[in-house]
Chains A and B, each alone.
Chain A
């Protein structure tokens, strides 16, 4: 029973990590209506920046973490400047498709800049887990979970309660209308990418702390997708709930069902849950409902 509870807790925490990565998607979507297919690549880039500042440049964690976040923000900004600015005014669809190109490009770029080797990732959170009686909880996930919740609360306050948040929402709603109201679409999208890149980097730190880094890490982007859709693409707060549910379901499947079937149902369970939810609520739990009017 203790183990069962432990599995639930660990699952929920892993789910929160998915939520954090998914938050990268959602923030970009919420502020620009662009669905970023290259989110997983942002995670690796963030990871490599952290690796570079710590393992290569040899900075202490206190220095390298803030520096990495700044650098990641710059990368996000650069991506926006190079790839998306020119497309403002074009259909959102073209922007989304550019992110598909970005995915292919960034994969190559990571390989070119950082090389293909498997790198050790710095130990950012203590390796020693937290012991609660018989239960043990990985420190990186625990602290990551807290960070995720704080970030979610903060960002959802920002988007729902502040005027800047409302401005970005307006951009996501309709680029042309927003700019005709004097809202800088460019600024909003740039902000979104900066934030998205920073969130991805934090995600990378939690995900990879004490582990290894290769471009395989981008798979987390696709693991986080179901969480974003489950919550609904506009909902930041909803990510927490969605992440926890999906994380727990996945953990219980891998630990109790997979041994029985001798396969890896755990890795597809998030997608199955997502499909089921979307069939009931086509825009996720808290996503904006499609408005159809004639």
Chain B
């Protein structure tokens, strides 16, 4: 529902995400703040933002695949791994610039995702969700068992830093700008995709794939596409990860990581790009708070003992996530939308 006084005057303006001048201002301000962040806040915060942005790219991809197209995907970390490995191999063996390795990482992950997406034409629902777990195990197995000259085997791969015109992207500030640029492009692109005919086809397939087919949508191709796009995002995120950590190993991309990505989009809200971002923010922030507050609590309440405090922190993390899902099973965005519409018709209750 639009705020009163705002009427779309053309179909294009009706499509806009940002509808009021205040929203424009808020967005500009937000972006400016982000861009200036390295000059405003400490390195630790920037490092957290780096992690958040990388997770955001991956979670947004998952949101397209799972939230929009309804294909539950528990292999997102594997797809991320494929991207990270691709970028690492290309960067370390061929010295290709990151301007190319990042999209190529996305493409190779997309290919891997597409293969799994093809099975979605036949396999549905939970069966599909669980076959994506297979992606996870197969990726792990492949990395460790292919000749170690290919993917480094158990050794992992060391990644040279990203470089552009002699500028090395090392240190959190430089990496921040690189991550920011990529994330901004990817998130903007995601908005484009979900509001295009593809986004609508995804939703159609999610809601009723029989009807979607009869509407002239190629259901199998659409599902495979959803995986492809989701995996592309994961691959790009993986490449950013590779450039951030500069060492990739197979244990950085586990099923547990995939589960956390799923948790992120649930907490934020299924079927909303903003929801994915909110979810990433919330879960990462909880993790960081735990990592930051934990030692301090352990120090100040020493009678509890460090182990109890830290174990307790994990419970808090799990508990908060579970609580979110219980109290707000449709995600925070859903609550937000309800709040928004009741605010707009205030003071009338309905």
Closest partner residue, chain A, to B265 (CB atom): A97
* Number of residue pairs A-B, CB distance < 8 angstroms: 139
**Nearest 5 CB-CB pairs, A to B?**
A105-B318, A101-B322, A94-B329, A108-B314, A108-B315
Told that A35-B126, A104-B263, A104-B317 touch, could you supply 4 new A-B pairs with CB distance under 8 A? Answer: A94-B325, A101-B321, A108-B315, A287-B127
A-B contact pairs, 5 of them (CB 8 A): A29-B126, A86-B326, A101-B263, A115-B311, A278-B123
- How many residues in B have their beta carbons less than 8 Å from beta carbons of A? 45
The complex places the Cα of A90 from the Cα of B255 at a distance, in Å, of 27
Nearest-Cβ distance from residue B195 to partner chain A, whole angstroms: 23
A13 to chain B, nearest CB (A): 23
Q: Is B141 an interface residue (CB 8 A)?
A: yes
Q: Are A100 and B329 in contact (CB under 8 A)?
A: no
Taking beta carbons and an 8 Å cutoff, which residues of A are in contact with B?
Answer: 29, 35, 37, 83, 86-87, 90-91, 94-98, 100-109, 111-112, 115-116, 222, 225-226, 229, 233, 261, 263-265, 267-268, 271-272, 274-275, 278-279, 282-284, 287, 290, 292-294
Taking a contact as CB atoms closer than 8 A, the residue among B123, B138, B259, B330 that contacts A100 in the complex is: B259
| A275 pairs with B134, CB closer than 8 A | yes
The answer to whether B127 and A115 touch across the interface, beta carbons within 8 angstroms, is no
Q: A112 with B311: in contact, given A107-B318, A261-B145, A278-B119 (CB under 8 Å)? A: yes
**Chain B interface (Cβ < 8 Å from any Cβ of A):** 119, 122-127, 129-131, 133-134, 137-138, 141, 144-145, 210-211, 214, 255, 259-260, 262-263, 266, 307-308, 311-319, 321-326, 329-330
Q: How far is the CA of A261 from the CA of B147 in the complex (A)?
A: 11
Specify which of B211, B317, B329 is in contact with A294 (CB 8 Å cutoff).
B211
Verify B322–A105 contact, CB threshold 8 A: yes
B residues less than 8 Å from A278 (CB atoms):
119, 122-123, 127, 131
Q: Are B134 and A271 in contact (CB under 8 A)?
A: yes
- B311/A100 in contact, CB under 8 A: no
- A282's contact among B127, B141, B263, B307, by CB below 8 Å, is which? B127
CB pair A111–B325 under 8 Å, yes or no, is no
